[in-house]
Structure 1
Amino acid sequence: MKPLQLPATASAVLSFDFDGTLHDPSAQPPVWADFFVLIQQLRTEKNAIWGINTGRSMPQVIDGFIESRFPFLPDFVVAREREIYFPNPLGRYLPHTEWNKKCEKEIRRLFKKSRKLLDSIRKDIEEHTGAQWVETSGDPAGLISRTDEEMDWIEQRIRNLAAENPKLSWQRNSIYLRFGHLDFQKGSSLTEVASNFKIAAPQCFAIGDSHNDLAMLDSTHAGMIACPGNSVEAIKTKVLASGGFLAKADHSAGAIEALRHYFHV
């Protein structure tokens, strides 16, 4: 797989969450072939740049492309909701070094400063729920709850406990939660990508289905926001309240519906 040839001057940036928004594991293929046909049309007629903005790690992203039978690569990837990568002409993704280094430096600094607070949150959550605390390389603090309802309670609890440190943030996707830095998430990463192509927020399109997409679905980062029909209620509420587009169709069919709504193709 290789990326499409970039336009001489980009006119729009399209940002897609992957799991739940484009990728439907129960479908074959998991992403509709018509989606890629439309992306090619938008590249030709609208000079659109497109990419994936996901909580997956970069190796998991590549696995998703193969599983979903991508005929060509996206023009950018935001992995783990914060790391930015651009493909070279041969299809190898290279890190956006300045952004990624700054991101990791600030996150390490924040976690060091917040160690006692995170320990307190962990103790409180483990005492009151059956959630599992997770520590991995690059993501030193996270949670996996037993149910969505349990995670609803946990998220509110964290919101109360973490009020003393406004830079400590978190990204949630269903029963999974990852702690991070308020300044480095899907929305700020989209803005950084757009600036690389000299595109302002009003010319950015973003679509997502779950809680970790909330930061991206904001006028600060995207003037065109949408969600597929299978989105969680918090996302639907956010999109509708912001004057965005709520598709009737699910997954990639919903993404197609939203693109046609905004770009009139």
Structure 2
Amino acid sequence: MAARKPTFILSFDFDGTLVHHDSTPVFHPMLGQMIQQLRNLGAAWVINTGRSLPQTLQGLAQYGIFMEPDYIIAMECDIYKPGLFSKWTDFGPWNKQARKAHERFVKDHQASLKAIREMVETQTQGQFLAGDYGELGIVGSSEEELDMVCSFIDAHIRQFPDIGYHRNGIYLRFAHSAYSKGTALSELARLLGLNASQCFAAGDNLNDLSMLDPRHASMIATPGNGLPVVKAHVQSHGGFVAQRYASEGMIEALTHFFGTAKS
């Protein structure tokens, strides 16, 4: 963890941004060195991911990233900090609020969710998924098919703005629209006494768009493997589009925003 009160935040998506499964190396060690140098200057290193907390910790170990983040935002929403003996715990009341909001969301929108489920099951080859803990999602058979499903969902959102979802490729997870990578990043900043002007955020996929927003981070970036729509979004908001993939692209991005860090 950072040795002193953070003065700025470095928020990275995990898959496709910090690591790239088809690259060699998957995670460039120079990026780790740069992050550590910036932490010495007051940065809080945050992983902001759609993975669950256990999946995130497993991924760090799998790819040999042995630095412990200062905070993890998991499932595109839940904020965690390291606890005693490295046990991760909720940071602030946000996670509890998010869970209650999701329960209300599911209860309040049974009709819309039923209509969406029927559409998926009768008009597509995709699957509507309902988990044991109230989580709801869709797996499309192709991105084009999920595009069509999202258009149908968006029609419901126009009537009920609190209906939200996180999308990554052919995978979609429903969520209350007030709880996303972006709003979680802003809540973390608030808890640390910071604001969007002191936040850097980077991501490559659709579920990263909420944090690649000046309302949540004034410094935004995407790697060379970012989706075209993500690159266009970052460019339109004055952000940085790297040439290289994932961690090597993040080296470019940190150099662009922070120069060469010196402890």
Measured against the shorter chain, the TM-score band is: over 0.9
Structure 1 residues 28 and 66: alpha-carbon distance in aligned structure 2, compared to 1, 3 A threshold: farther
Q: What is the match of residue 182 of structure 1?
A: 177
The equivalences for 1:116-265 within 5 A come to 116-265=111-260
1:88 positional shift? 2.6
Structure 1 residues 69 and 212: alpha-carbon distance in aligned structure 2, compared to 1, 3 A threshold: same
Q: Secondary structure at the match of 2:183?
A: helix
Structure 1 residues 185 and 138: alpha-carbon distance in aligned structure 2, compared to 1, 3 A threshold: farther
Describe the superposition over 1:205-234 as per-residue Cα deviations: whole angstroms up to 9, x where unpaired.
000000000100001100000000101111
8 Å CA contact 2:103, 2:134 repeated in 1: no
Q: Secondary structure at the match of 1:90?
A: helix
**Greater alpha carbon shift after TM alignment, 175-184 vs 123-132:** 123-132
Percent identity of the aligned residues?
A: 38
Q: What is the match of residue 75 of structure 1?
A: 70
1:140 positional shift? 2.8
Runs of 5+ consecutive residues of structure 2 not aligned to the other structure: none
Q: What is the match of residue 20 of structure 1?
A: 16
Q: What is the match of residue 40 of structure 1?
A: 36
Q: Give the CA RMSD over aligned residues.
A: 1.3
Distance 1:77 1:166 in 2: 27
1:171 positional shift? 0.5
Distance 1:89 1:248 in 2: 40
User: TM-score, with normalisation over the residues of structure 1?
Assistant: 0.94
User: TM-score, with normalisation over the residues of structure 2?
Assistant: 0.95
**Counterpart AA for 2:184:** S
8 Å CA contact 1:117, 1:162 repeated in 2: no
Q: Secondary structure at the match of 2:167?
A: strand
1:87 positional shift? 0.7
Distance 1:38 1:237 in 2: 26
Q: How many residues align?
A: 260
Distance 1:139 1:51 in 2: 26
1:256 positional shift? 1.1
8 Å CA contact 1:142, 1:178 repeated in 2: yes
Q: Secondary structure at the match of 2:257?
A: helix
Pair 1:98 & 2:93 matched = yes
8 Å CA contact 2:92, 2:191 repeated in 1: no
Pair 1:60 & 2:87 matched = no
Pair 1:11 & 2:40 matched = no
Runs of 5+ consecutive residues of structure 1 not aligned to the other structure: none
Describe the superposition over 1:138-197 as per-residue Cα deviations: whole angstroms up to 9, x where unpaired.
453210011111111211121113322110100100000000011100000001111122
8 Å CA contact 1:210, 1:232 repeated in 2: yes
**Counterpart AA for 1:136:** G
8 Å CA contact 2:51, 2:75 repeated in 1: yes
**Counterpart AA for 1:206:** A
8 Å CA contact 1:30, 1:67 repeated in 2: no
**Counterpart AA for 1:112:** K
